[in-house]
Structures are given as C-alpha cells and as structure tokens.
Amino acid sequence: MIQLNPDCLIFQTAAGENIPCSAELVTIELIGEAASSLDPDVIENASAAVLHYFKKELGRTFVTVAEFAEALEKVLRGFGLSVKKFATSGAKQRKLPRVAEDDLRQIAAESGKGFELFFFSNLREHLHQKIASDSPEIVRFNGLRSCVKQLVGARRWSHRCQDLNDQIVDYLRICLSAEGKPSCALVVR
C-alpha cells in the first residue's frame, strides 16, 4: 500500500471516484474567489483543523467532498467569518459503510506465551465478535507487519515473517467465509 502524504486525504466524489488530494488545495477550491481576499494563514489553519479532525479524531483517511465542506464551514465560522454553503455536487452522497476495526498487535499481546497457537484461536474469536456485534460491511485488521514480527520474535522481516504474514491473511479469509457473510469485506494492513 502506498503511504498517503500526511497533509492529504482521499476524497470521494459524488461520481464515486477516490482522489488523494491536499486538504489545503481542496479548501482553496471550495472557498473559490474569496480565497484571494483571505489571509493565507487563515486558509492554512482552517484546512489543518479539518485535516486533524478527520485523520486524528475520527481516524479516517477517506471523506466525501460534502463532509469536508461541512467541517470547513464550521471551522471558518469558528474563526468569525461569514460563510455561505459551499457548492458541492448536487448528486446524493452515498452512505459510508459500517467498519469494524481491530488491532492485530493487541491480539498477539493477549495471546501471551502461547504465541501462534493461541493467537489464531484469539484471532478467530475477535473476528466472530466483530461480525456478530457490529454487523459491519468491512472488517479491518491493523498492524499486520508488527504483529508478525512480534509473534516470530524478529527485528527484521524474513522469509519466516512472510510465511506467517500469508498464513494470517489466509486464515482470516477462511474464517470470514465460514461466518457466512458474503457481503462483508476484509481489509488486513
């Protein structure tokens, strides 16, 4: 996976496209001609505030243009500026999918000294709980690489690490298909 620039978000357009873009550029585009009459620091701080809100507080990298515009309006009003509604596409914004997340590093730590033996059992249980309680459309497991290194006891990535990495991903796929949720997507990163 290509790492996103820290000042960027992935914007979902009304047409369904995903476009990585700087939050500041989108802010300038939404403000339009009024951007030339504003202090550049105001624009920079407003875009930084919205970026922080989505990335740090909500933990999201994907946002719709309408969501970004709404958050930007609130920030600019907070700066004491008079703001009209930004013109985003008139098309209906699609509902965001329900996402259930879990941390593979934490599951590995919970496995204690049982390492891989208990890890796979705990992993299956975590997946089952996420699907049963949240009814998600996407199940996301984070921290695969560091989890593998933790289980293997390696400082550097090796063939053994790659083998365990592949086993974990395959195991999650098998467990998800056994849950009988064909509409649920799996993301492991």
CA distance 184 to 149: 28
Scored b (16 or more CB within 10 A) or e, 123-138 reads bbebbeebbeeeebee
pLDDT surpasses 90 at 143: yes
Query: How high is the pLDDT of residue 174?
Result: 93
This prediction has a pTM of 0.53
Map out the domains of the chain as residue ranges: 8-78, 99-188
Q: Considering only residues 123 and 12, tell me which one the structure prediction assigns the higher pLDDT.
A: 123
